[in-house]
Amino acid sequence: MTIGHKKQIEILNNFLKKGYIPHAFLFLGPSNIGKTTVAKFFAKKILCLQNKNNSCNCLSCESFQRSLHPDFFIIDAETEIKIRDIKEIESFLSTKPYISKNKVVILANADLMNFFAQNAFLKTLEEPPQNSTIILTASDINKFLPTVLSRLLKIKFYLVDDNDIKKSLDLKNLSKEDVNFVFKMAGGRPGKIIELIENKEKLLKFKRLAKEILNLKNRSLAQRFSYTAGLIKEMDINNTNKNQLFELLEIWIRIIRYNLVLDFVKDKSLNKKELSALFAMEKVYRLLKMSNLNIKIAFNYLMLNI
């Protein structure tokens, strides 16, 4: 089910109507907003044998629904994408389609490709196999080599309106408090909202982490350092496993930003200490995305600025 992104879907449908589909796309936008969901929706339509707009019971669509389509290949990466992953794509594309007229590859979170993987992938982009479409999704365009970017048709995706998300999801089993919290923490990101709705344990964890960051400002510096050391160990955060780190920072950034808005609405003023904490978190988030900044040093810097 796709939520939002009507303009982007319209662009993709127009390619289908014209009978011309570019060889390689880059769906670019924030994480968890539905880029990969739209990519799958588009892939299913490319592979469809009857070119129907809505539900279709052709062999291709039924195979796709059951995740058994021999002409569809997806890598949904959570860690670094290496040359061996690109070799899998090359091997898949080297054979002719079995069911459909085309083959489709989705490389989700393609900004996790390392330098060597991108160079290897460049050959496929420069000499694309016939009747193939490659769809990359990413949130950070700066991670790509210019030579790779130049061979991709870029389509930008944006945060989805919360009202559109609420209309599309069943929120009856959530309390009003939990609904407010979920949209406060993940507003505009259907994927993250669905994850929190379906995973009660994760929702409780998010609520705990949000509460803890607000309480940290009242603790001593030694207590803050002790807290973050324990948190790093608990969440198994390290320089090769940064996914949970970025998720944690996103929770903290959102809760501090939300509190700043509440303060401003109430008193028409901004809490300077919270504003300083927000700037520090956003700075650390950017640095960790762009470099191998030591995680312990990053957290200590944050604790000094809360």
Nearest to residue 171, comparing CAs of 200, 191, 190, 197? 197
Mean of per-residue pLDDT scores for the chain: 87
* Span of 10-19, 219-228, 245-254, 256-265 with lowest mean pLDDT: 256-265
Q: What is the pLDDT of residues 98-141, one digit of tens each?
A: 999 999 999 999 999 999 999 999 999 998 888 999 999 999 99
SS3 9: helix
Predicted local confidence at residue 270, as pLDDT = 67
- Integer Cα distance of 306 and 290 in angstroms: 23
For the segment 213-234, the average pLDDT, to the nearest whole number, is 85
Predicted local confidence at residue 281, as pLDDT = 87
Q: What six digits make up the tokens of 222?
A: 């030694």
Confidence tier at 240 by pLDDT (50, 70, 90): low
Task: Please give, one letter per residue, the 3-state secondary structure of 12-52.
Answer: HHHHHHHCCCCCEEEEECCCCCCHHHHHHHHHHHHHCCCCC
Predicted local confidence at residue 184, as pLDDT = 82
Confidence tier at 266 by pLDDT (50, 70, 90): low
Q: Please list, residue by residue across 132-142, b when 16 or more beta carbons sit within 10 angstroms of its beta carbon and e when fewer do.
A: bbbbbbbbeee
Confidence tier at 289 by pLDDT (50, 70, 90): confident
CB of 132 within 8 A of CB of 102? yes
Tell whether the torsion through CA atoms of 135, 152, 119 and 287 is positive or negative.
Answer: negative
Q: What is the pLDDT of residues 154-208, one digit of tens each?
A: 999 999 988 888 888 888 778 888 888 888 888 788 988 888 888 888 888 888 8
Strands (E), the chain: 24-28, 72-76, 103-108, 132-138, 153-156
Q: Residue 88 phi/psi, 5° resolution?
A: -65, -40
